[in-house]
Amino acid sequence: MNRSVAIGCGIVIAVFAVLIGLVAWLGPKLFEKGKSYMTQVMAEQAAERKRINAIESAWQPPTAAADATWFPDQVGNSKLERSEPFASIPEMHIERAGHRATYRSGAGRIGVVVLAANDLEKDTLIRRISDSVRGRSIDSPGLGENDFNNLSASTTPYGARRHEKFANGEQVQFWWIKGWLFFFQTHDNVDPKDFSEELLGATAPAAPSTPLEKK
């Protein structure tokens, strides 16, 4: 019995010795890999910030007030379906004037709303609009008043941009830039992040430069 216990203890010790040896051998390698990965992630984030900053720097409001000239007939692969001013949008809890448009491509349809908002107003407006989207579907046939209440959503804030994606594929994006709040919404396969950059690029005074290009 004692011999069996001794053998068992010897095996356990041997296993621990092997594990300790593996940790000692692999530890530095894993640390270096982790360090290299974090360095790469930070570099990519810095490059993305630089790219977005270049987009925002290049863009200027086309006119003093948002109007039809802010919405070109063609943005990337999307064509303008309609464009109209509004005094308010009650279902979005927007109680000020602005302009809205709808674009369509082979991937689907995307709606755009733009209105003036200063730094103190933008967060309240974003919260109100976001809450309205969570509570109801705008122009989504077949979805009821509360269909969005229990849907999971992932939110990705990035600088002046905020992106939300719901479990059913609904996506919204806010982008506040130079005193103007843009709101993009789609429930199709249109990527609002790509479209928003294309729209700003199409209305910028000068063509986007190399830093705006995605890798």
Answer whether residue 182 is part of any domain.
yes
pLDDT reading at 92 higher than 80: yes
In angstroms, the CA 215 to CA 203 distance is: 22
Answer whether residue 186 is part of any domain.
yes
Rounded to an integer, the average pLDDT of 143-151 is 40
Lowest mean pLDDT among 44-53, 143-152, 205-214: 143-152
Residue 137: closest CA among 151, 120, 156, 155: 151
Q: Which residues pair with 89 in a beta bridge?
A: 94
The string of pLDDT tens digits covering residues 159-210 is 578 888 776 678 888 999 999 999 999 887 888 888 999 999 898 775 444 4
Asked if 69 and 62 count as a contact pair (C-beta separation under 8 A), the reply is yes
Domain count, the chain: 1
Residue 203 belongs to a domain with what CATH number? 3.40.1000.20
Answer whether residue 207 is part of any domain.
yes
Answer whether residue 24 is part of any domain.
no
44 vs 71 pLDDT, higher one: 71
Answer whether residue 52 is part of any domain.
no
Answer whether residue 35 is part of any domain.
no
Answer whether residue 47 is part of any domain.
no
Answer whether residue 154 is part of any domain.
yes
Q: What is the pLDDT of residue 111?
A: 94
Q: Residue 160: give the domain boundaries.
A: 68-212
